Amino acid sequence: MSDDAGWLSRLMESRKRTDESGGGPEALSPLSPEAMLEAERLCSRAAEAKQAGEKDEAVELYERAVRLNPRLIHGWLNLAVTLYEIRRPKAALECLEKARELQDANPNFEAAISQLLPICQHAAGAATGNEEAEVWVRRGLQAEKAERPEEAIGYYERARLLDPRNPRAPYLLGVALLDTDRVLEAVELFEEARHIDDPETNAWLAEALPSYHRRAAATLQEQGVDRANHGEWAEALRCFERSLRLDPYDMHTLCFRGIALINSARRYREALFCFEMAERLGHPDVDELKSLCRKALGTGGEA
């Protein structure tokens, strides 16, 4: 969002009630007091959900509120703002049109509607596949909430295809992949999301990526050790090198790489460098490995 964030937030905090007479288009049927009260309660729950960062849940609650009481102008407005914030400007514009139909009976909201309309109109005009992508993102969030991660992964992948510039899709897909232990794919997606211009997502990634890198590096290290145990030294070496690209100062992986260099291609000089680096990082058991390398190098043992 841009400089409009201030007044949008103020609008969201506004809890004005509609005219108790239920004024609005004559075509609307009378509402029971119970329905009006429940709609207000839903709006209050929606505001709390949004304040807690649960914007998709807030959208669902506002939608229930305005279905229950279609005259609830602040419900339509807050729904429009929330939809705009989750990058669904076309849906937000539809809600604003509903609010505008009610503004004659609720003139206090005219200024807010006038401010928000051109912003949503501009954003909706610029939107292509991104609106539909957000729908699939939302379905993915619902699937995750229902503990169906594989289903969520499918939804997020569809969102990425529809809008490659959507920052939430690769980030949320990465989180879902982490939940299914697909760590390496997740890190690649976080790196992808990092290159999309979205300050909120990028701020989170800047803080979270190092820990995810370490987690992925540990997974690669384990894969490398498994390959080595099966005598597949060239493949083990590739795993250790990929691990070190993510976490270059892991002393154990440095040692493993050195051993794989010797066993896969007798590259003693590079192996010696790995062992010396591991020693500087605090590894206590590299003296014998260093001696082996120096002996091989002294007798021309490097390939």
| CATH architecture assignment, domain 130-197 | Alpha Horseshoe (1.25)
pLDDT string in tens for the chain (303-residue length): 444 444 444 444 543 443 343 444 444 456 788 888 999 999 999 999 998 888 889 999 999 999 999 989 999 999 988 888 887 778 888 888 888 888 776 777 777 777 777 777 766 655 555 667 878 888 898 898 888 989 999 999 988 888 877 777 888 898 888 888 888 888 888 877 777 767 777 777 788 778 888 888 898 999 999 999 999 999 999 999 999 988 999 999 999 999 999 999 999 999 999 999 999 999 998 999 999 999 999 865 554
CA angle 106, 111, 117 (to 5 degrees): 105
Same fold, 5-126 and 218-298: yes
Cβ neighbours, 10 Å, residue 140: 28
For residue 196, the 8-state DSSP code is S
CA-CA-CA-CA torsion sign (261, 266, 271, 273): negative
| CATH architecture assignment, domain 218-298 | Alpha Horseshoe (1.25)
For residue 230, the 8-state DSSP code is T
Domain ranges of the chain: 5-126, 130-197, 218-298
Q: Does domain 5-126 have CATH number 1.25.40.10?
A: yes
Residue 145 to residue 57: CA distance in whole angstroms? 11
